[in-house]
A = this chain, B = another copy of it.
Amino acid sequence: MSPDSAVENAPAEKPLRSDAARNRERILAAAAEVFAARGLEATLDDIAAHAGLGIGTVYRRFPNRDALVEALFEERLAGVATMAALVLDEPDSWVALRRLLETMGAVVTADQGLFEVLICRPGGGGRAAVRETMLPIVTAVFGRAQADGHLRADVAPTDFPMMLRMLAGIGEATREVRPDLWQRYLELLLDGLRADRCGESCFTVAPIDPLDMDRVQHLGWPRR
């Protein structure tokens, strides 16, 4: 039907010229660094300068800011989901829980941009997918640790993103000075989460329910 021989209805992305391909990678690398350090509000001019390129070059490759964010985080989000899924293989349910929090804590404290796409922004496109991947993992890991009596019974899956928020706040503030500090507070949280303590206690305040979680994201983004 088409006059073209082989490539039928593919979008026909002809390969970039070699210098353009190299610059594309530079832009993505610079964007990764800048978004990690300053969050998604970093400017494209900043990113271009960081890449050692002109702004025009950035816009030639990515039609607008969101396209860049999308291209940058698509693969990283998939990677995060994959990493999180790894903990399901951990035989010890408490270790699985700790590894889940360590893994995701490391992600959100090291990379502010990734934290924002993952936790803060209303889900759309790849974001929704990752969160839908995460929920069953969190539920499974929490459930197993609770069944084994390691994790206190009154913890809910929605506590997970909230704890990540707490750690991300530490990370954002102290990343430049003490990039490991967040782990101290992860340890603190983990000690609070353990069920096998002498002094039993239970929360007097209910967890946030998933619908309100959505409202939190929609109210808080874009940054008012």
Contacts and interface: CB of A to CB of B under 8 A. Distances in A.
Interface of A: 38, 120, 159, 162-163, 165-170, 172-174, 176-178, 180-181, 183-185, 187-194, 196-199, 201, 203-208, 212, 215-216, 219-220, 224
B177 A203 contact: no
Contacts of A194: 197, 199
A176 B38 contact: no
Contacts of A224: 38
Contacts of A159: 184, 188
Contact of A191 (B181, B197, B206, B215): B197
B219 A205 contact: no
Given A198-B197, A205-B187, A212 B166 contact: no
Contacts of A205: 180-181, 183-184, 187
